[in-house]
Amino acid sequence: MKNARLIVGICGASGALYGATLLKELLRHPVTVHAVLSTDGRKVMGHELKFKSDLPAFLRQTFAFTPHRQARLLEHPVDSFFTPPASGSFRHDGMVIAPCSVKTLAAIAAGVADNLITRAADICLKERRPLILVPRETPLSRIHLQNMLRLTEAGATILPPAPAFYFHPQTVQEMVDFVVARILDQLNLSHTLVKEWGHETI
Ligand SMILES: Cc1cc2nc3c(=O)[nH]c(=O)nc-3n(C[C@H](O)[C@H](O)[C@H](O)COP(=O)(O)O)c2cc1C
């Protein structure tokens, strides 16, 4: 997907590493990524990954990777609607919320567009653009499940962070990579995180 525009929301659910790994992998491509961290997403990322405030520096230090020379990362404040993701006129190729809290899941399912993440997601649904939600909570209540069904019926993809074990993961990062690989598959973006089933290395 050349010169794609993507939106990534990171909420205050556990699993900030899913969002950080996704950003890193997206930036290996010639894409523009519009990133939005919720207020609690920022705090949980600080708690889980010692993230402070500079997202590009954090990604470079955490992953020691080389972004694609045409990749761009634009971070927007979660309370600003004066940004591209807040408008349906902003044409893009999809949005991922990883991790997604059940609060944000509920807001989107109810059509409550009260911050930039929920607003951008709401636009995806009305404009029929790809919306991939990676909700992390367990166990799931009837309300959570109903919200997921509602969102699926509205066109979103619910992609639970459920790593498989048949590829014999040795590290937490490998388990996270499996989930991020599934997200990239949904976006039709290439990766080498996990080999397709049937390759000799699995
Ligand atoms: C350390 C920590 C872990 C959390 N883990 C989860 C979680 O896994 N799932 C969830 O839905 N909420 C979790 N929460 C609660 C959310 O952060 C809280 O509901 C917040 O209001 C979500 O808002 P947001 O979706 O705007 O980020 C956690 C909170 C903290 C402090």
Ligand 1, pocket-test mutation among 10, 103, 134, most atoms within 8 A of CB: 103
pLDDT, greater one: 7 or 201: 7
Cα of 12 from ligand 1 centre, angstroms: 4
Tens of pLDDT along 68-115? 999 999 999 999 999 999 999 999 999 999 999 999 999 999 999 999
Cα of 13 from ligand 1 centre, angstroms: 4
pLDDT at 199 over 70: no
Q: Are 37 and 10 in contact (CB under 8 A)?
A: yes
Q: Are 114 and 107 in contact (CB under 8 A)?
A: yes
Residue 175 vs residues 156, 171, 180: alpha-carbon distances, Å? 24, 7, 9
Structure tokens at 42: 């920022």
Residue type, 188: N
pLDDT at 174 over 50: yes
H-type alpha helices, the chain = 16-26, 39-49, 55-63, 102-110, 116-127, 142-153, 172-186
pTM of the prediction?
0.96
The DSSP 8-state label assigned to residue 82 in this structure reads S
Domains of the chain with bracketed CATH:
5-186 (3.40.50.1950)
Angle made by CA atoms 62, 41, 141, in degrees to the nearest 5: 120
| Three-state SS at 69 | coil
